[in-house]
Chains A and B, each alone.
Chain A
Amino acid sequence: MVNYGGDEVSALVIDIGASSVRAGYAGDDCPKAIIPTSYGYHPAPPDADVTMSDGAENIDAVNKSKFANIYIGQSGPSIWREGMEVGNPMVEGLIQDFNPIKPLIDHALEKTMRVNSSEHPILVTEPTWNTPANRERMAEIMFEEFNVPAFYIANTGVLNAFAAGKGSALVIDVGQSMASVTPVVDGFVLRKGLSYSPLPKLIHAHARHILISPTPHRRGIELLPHQLIANKTLVDAGAPPKFTIRQDRIAGTTESWRNWAETREIDEWVQSVAGVLDQGWNDAVAAQRTARQYEFPTGYNNYFGLERFQVGEQFFTHSPQLVASNPNLPKTIPQLITEALRACDPELRQVLMGNVVLTGGGTLFSGFADRLTAELTRSFPHTKIHAPGNPVERRYGGWLGGSILASLGTFHQLWISKEEWQEHGKPIVGQRCK
């Protein structure tokens, strides 16, 4: 047992991202519960006491004032409900709104995993740019509301390096809202070397722009979700769609839900169609690649050729006209890497470039790893990129690292225990979790 250094104390690991909340037992190889971070809710009316509707979570007193009902999980925002709004607590990778955090974690632990949080030490992840106030608030929620016996908050950069089996690495994490490059040395983040930007948001906006704006040979596409479509008929590629809208639902659909649903449509299109050329932009090569067919919920379908590669190109270069029209574009991946390396000691650069770890759902973008390899080997011939082929490992690298860390025998001296929390209060978080 001592040989591999593991000692499982049935700790739980929670990784909260902009797209999903991942929770599971430390020592497992994938999270038991993966629930969307976006939640549906009915805002609380000024006074009246509403009855609980179907599928809603139990709400504590704090949230009563804000939400009449809150819907989380698989049957959360994705089910259409009249007047339901959709919210997301995350802004730029940080928890902005702590109100729905408790219901989210509750749902993951109690509803999905069916565990009692007061019996398990809990490790939570945080991005490197998390604020001290934020992590202290998280500790407070864990100790005061979930009554955990022990708590630790670990950095996703470090955890991703651990998940790749490395103590020192350059972690490139592309999530739903943020892309970041984090140098990790000996299990610590080099804060000065951290660089991040909301690049995935730009990709998303670009994809939306491509889809909804008409081109000479195709009309703008309506991004209606299937929840709002009563029926559709098969049409030829490029032909105008024939479908009936569920008129009964239109009036009860909120702006935020509509937005969330459209975002999902775009994400799906991106995930199944979009890609990036592996050797830099080249019109001829892009035109040569086979076009891919995609059908939207309205029944409209078409082949996407050149456009699908324009989307991915945004990860690596910004077109000059875009730069001209928009001075504060988020930094591209190569820019982030250059910036991170520039802030590091020259001696470390070789080490870091030899241990590049690719993680986050955004890196699953088709062709991303190949293109990055091509870009990096051009300026650093000895680059070695670790990119797990298993999509679960790639997307949930942060969680996996937490799972490894929290099941190590030597780690158990680092937990912040309830006793310590009560004795020292918030400062203990900063002292212990470096």
Chain B
Amino acid sequence: MPRELYALIGPSTPALSAQLAKPRLKQKPNFGGTAPRTKWELRTFKNPARKDGLELRHWEKVGADSAADYPFAKYDIQPNSYQYSPEEYTRLLEDKDWTKEETDYLLSVVKEYDSRWYIVHDRYNFPGGHERTLEDLKDRYCSVCRKLIRNRPWAGDDAGKTLLISSYQFDKEREVTRKKYLKSLEDRTPDQMAEEEALYIEVKRLEQSERRFKRDRENLLRTLAGIDSGLPDIVEDDPLPLAILEGSKTKTKKTKGVAEAESPATPAAAPAPTVKKPIKSAAYDAQHCIIRTETLSAAIATKAAHQPAYLRSFKLPAPKAAIAPKVTQALAELGISHTRLVMPTRENALLLDSLIEATTTLVETKRAYDKAEYEIQVLENRLGLREKSQPAEGAEGKIEGGAGMDVNDAQVGKEVEETDGEDGRAQSILSARSGGRSRKHARRSMSISSVDTVSTRANNKRQKRN
């Protein structure tokens, strides 16, 4: 090795032995493993599906069984067809519109084209016969088959027989109408199609806004009447949107009507638990006459603790039932009715409250005064009697007094009942509500039919599009 070369490659001289080893060829790929090569041969074969002896040739694997049936012969399936004797024809199949010859011809054509009715109708050409529609042909064929099955001895069970008969069921009228509809569907002008499209979109839009409306109302009801009120009978995805539209309209009208019957009201209520309004500044509140009350509902979210929103006029302060008539009477003397506030603002409500409280106190004081007066009188009487030293009469007076109190009590109770009846606001609301609901039910059942047609039309349309 020359020195220059050594200087270049240094002591790491490549081993020459590797290069001198005998080159090895890549191993031959072994296609198909050890299995012997498949041999094919050209063979003649007969097709059992043929009635003649035609022999064709194709390639087959050498090992294959040459005596085996032609594999495609099994696809040769003859449709079952019905034949009838002349006697059967006269007994069962007479029809004033069809001759026996034409019926024979019909059956042969149906058999020939394997009940492909469009083709049967296309190729049907009975010399001397008049024009027949596809439905005519199908009707006749099916009725012939049905009659034959029904009147022939049947080997199997009845279920099989009815099943077979039902497979030949054909309702000509319905088919004709269906085709007519189909035709009218196709004969629509572009204008009509556009209109239909527009209507369809409109219905969709209505449905959508209806759903939104329903949701809003639900929220409102929850706000007003508590968390478990709302609309139990309305599911979110109601398939009958129009019925709801009808029903809800009447219902909202009712509730609105009730609200309007009450005096104009400013709601002083807790905000709905579901809707969290952003807390605005005090200035904003003052400007919009909003008075905030502390609500515990945020902290306690249980159903029991939940206090639904209410109208202030619903919860006007009322005197204690026992003395209510007296209070009413006292106020009436002054020309004031405490059951109704023309302007039930917060201040007015408070004033009314204090008025009633004052009246109550007045009435109670009067009562206490009366009682004391009475007692004094009784005691004076007793004193007078004792002075006359007649003890028996005192007992009589006691009895008399008890009876007077009894009468008084009874009178009070009666008056309480009367006031209840008078003020039965809750009752009237309830009845109004139930009335509304029952009417709504009626409406809904009425509108189901109309909605049905709408939705089927929509379905048709969708089919058409497909």
Contacts and interface: CB of A to CB of B under 8 A. Distances in A.
B122 A409 contact: no
Interface stretch (B179-187, B228-236, B314-322, B453-461): B179-187
B119 A185 contact: yes
A415 B416 CA distance: 107
A345 B134 contact: yes
A415 B116 contact: no
Interface in A397-434: 409-410, 412-413, 415, 417-420, 423, 434
B15 interface: no
A419 B47 contact: no
Contact of B50 (A121, A413, A434): A413
Contact of A190 (B112, B122, B182, B464): B122
A346 B182 contact: yes
A185 B112 CA distance: 15
Nearest to B179: A346
Contact of B52 (A185, A191, A419): A419
Interface stretch (A1-9, A15-23, A34-42): A1-9
A303 to B, nearest CB: 39
Interface of B: 47, 49-50, 52-59, 70-73, 75-76, 112-113, 116, 118-119, 121-123, 134, 179, 182-183, 186, 464-466
Contact of A347 (B71, B179, B465, B466): B179
B466 to A, nearest CB: 8
Interface of A: 1-2, 5, 7-10, 121, 149-150, 185-186, 188, 190-193, 345-350, 382, 409-410, 412-413, 415, 417-420, 423, 434
Given A149-B54, A190-B118, A190-B122, A409 B186 contact: no
B72 A185 contact: no
Contact of A10 (B53, B57, B76): B57
Contacts of A1: 71
- A-B pairs, 6 with minimum CB distance: A409-B72, A417-B54, A413-B49, A9-B56, A188-B119, A190-B122
Given A191-B123, A346-B182, A434-B112, A413 B53 contact: no
Contacts of B52: 417, 419-420, 423
A8 B58 contact: yes
Contact of A2 (B56, B71, B76): B71
Contact of A346 (B57, B116, B186): B186
A412 B118 contact: no
A409 B48 CA distance: 12
Please classify the interface of chain B as helix (H, G, I), strand (E, B), loop, or mixed, using the class held by over half of its residues: mixed
B72 A2 contact: yes
A420 to B, nearest CB: 5
A376 to B, nearest CB: 14
19 contacts: A2-B71, A2-B72, A5-B72, A7-B71, A10-B58, A150-B54, A150-B56, A188-B116, A188-B119, A190-B122, A191-B123, A193-B122, A412-B72, A415-B56, A418-B54, A419-B52, A420-B52, A434-B112, A434-B113
- Of B54, B58, B71, chain A has the most CB atoms within 10 Å of the CB of B54
B116 A186 contact: yes
Nearest to A9: B56
Nearest to B193: A381
A81 B123 CA distance: 49
Given A185-B119, A188-B116, A419-B52, A410 B75 contact: yes
A262 to B, nearest CB: 42
Contact of B118 (A10, A150, A186, A434): A186
Contacts of B73: 413
Given A185-B118, A186-B118, A419-B52, 12 more contacts: A121-B56, A149-B54, A150-B54, A188-B116, A192-B122, A345-B179, A346-B183, A349-B186, A409-B72, A415-B54, A420-B54, A423-B52
Contacts of B50: 412-413, 417
Contact of A419 (B53, B59, B183): B53
Contacts of A191: 122-123
Contacts of A149: 54-56
Contacts of A5: 72
